[in-house]
């Protein structure tokens, strides 16, 4: 029998399945921060390591968001020479002056796309499917990226109140919870977060570009809808983008730490 005719060694089904469903972005590099964090809790269950990393990341994100809110609301905006406050309000004034029935309906859809019920339903479906497939880290990422974002938004808006735009508002929410934009932050956390996981499996640059274009367009749609409805200023939207990105980073850290902990237990 020649070398070419020799049968190939069978690859275990579990190994093939893990390779097919793995998420490369969850793999911690040797000596990285998630790996060192997991090493501090050697022999602990990966789920415990995940939640400890999640808590630590959330506390850091919340503190950073509050500090940024203090800088924006109490330092940058009162500094009249910068002209930020006038520009922030003028954008909402312009959008309010051009309201129409069609644009208002579109803005209402944008609000739904960036909040309840769309995002909770989407996250729930992703989590259930991944749990059924026993892809626990992906399920945890989908659920907790939205939870971390929501908690950070709520803590920041309570700690640093900012009045919403002075135009007529199309929703009856709290008047002093303008910064940051929770809908924008949630859109970034969920849509960009899921696209980030999805595109790690893509080899085609075109597919990656299309996926990211879709995510960016969705986030932009939500942000414009919230400003059109008079619920947030442009700076609030910018703060929401940062919170959403921060939530993604927190979940990546927690998932990598949990994955590293699982590897250490297997070793």
In-domain check, residue 35? no
Q: Is 3 helix (H, G, I), strand (E, B) or coil?
A: coil
In-domain check, residue 71? yes
List, for residues 188-213, the tens digit of each pLDDT value.
Answer: 999 999 999 999 888 889 999 999 99
CA distances from residue 232 to 78, 153, 165, 174, 223 in whole angstroms, order as listed? 18, 13, 6, 11, 9
Q: Say how many domains are in the chain.
A: 1
CA atoms within 13 A on the CB side of 222: 29
In-domain check, residue 154? yes
In-domain check, residue 156? yes
User: What is the predicted pLDDT for the residue at 97?
Assistant: 93
In-domain check, residue 146? yes
Lowest average pLDDT, out of 34-43, 78-87, 94-103, 216-225, goes to 78-87
User: Predicted confidence band at 123 (pLDDT cuts at 50, 70, 90)?
Assistant: very high
User: Predicted confidence band at 77 (pLDDT cuts at 50, 70, 90)?
Assistant: confident
Q: Domain of 106?
A: 44-77+89-262
User: Predicted confidence band at 81 (pLDDT cuts at 50, 70, 90)?
Assistant: very low
In-domain check, residue 135? yes
In-domain check, residue 119? yes
Is the per-residue pLDDT at 18 higher than 80?
no
Q: How far is it, in rounded angstroms, from Cα 168 to Cα 177?
A: 16
Q: How far is it, in rounded angstroms, from Cα 221 to Cα 224?
A: 5
User: What is the predicted pLDDT for the residue at 233?
Assistant: 94
In-domain check, residue 129? yes
Mean pLDDT calculated for residue range 105-132: 94
**Average pLDDT of the chain to the nearest whole number:** 88
User: What is the predicted pLDDT for the residue at 31?
Assistant: 83
């Amino acid at each position: 029998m020649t070398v070419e005719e020799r049968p190939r060694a069978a690859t275990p089904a579990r190994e093939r399945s893990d390779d097919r469903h793995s998420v490369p972005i969850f793999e911690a590099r040797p000596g990285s921060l998630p790996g060192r964090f997991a090493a501090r809790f050697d022999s602990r269950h990966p789920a415990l390591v995940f939640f400890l990393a999640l808590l630590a990341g959330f506390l850091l994100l919340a503190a950073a968001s509050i500090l940024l809110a203090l800088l924006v609301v109490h330092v940058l905006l009162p500094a009249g020479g910068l002209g930020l406050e006038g520009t922030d309000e003028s954008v909402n004034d312009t959008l309010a002056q051009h309201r129409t029935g069609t644009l208002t309906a579109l803005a209402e859809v944008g609000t739904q796309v960036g909040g309840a019920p769309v995002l909770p339903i989407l996250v729930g479906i992703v989590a259930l499917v991944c749990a059924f497939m026993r892809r626990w880290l992906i399920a945890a990422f989908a659920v907790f990226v939205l939870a971390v974002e929501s908690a950070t938004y709520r803590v920041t808006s309570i700690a640093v109140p900012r009045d919403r735009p002075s135009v007529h508002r199309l929703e009856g929410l709290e008047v002093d919870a303008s910064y940051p934009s929770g809908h924008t932050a949630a859109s970034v956390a969920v849509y960009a977060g899921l696209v980030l996981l999805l595109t790690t499996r893509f080899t085609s640059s075109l597919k990656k570009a299309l996926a990211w274009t879709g995510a960016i367009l969705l986030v932009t749609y939500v942000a414009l809808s919230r400003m059109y409805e008079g619920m947030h200023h442009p700076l609030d939207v910018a703060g929401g983008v940062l919170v959403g990105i921060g939530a993604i980073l927190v979940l990546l850290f927690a998932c990598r730490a949990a994955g590293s902990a699982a590897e250490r237990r297997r070793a």
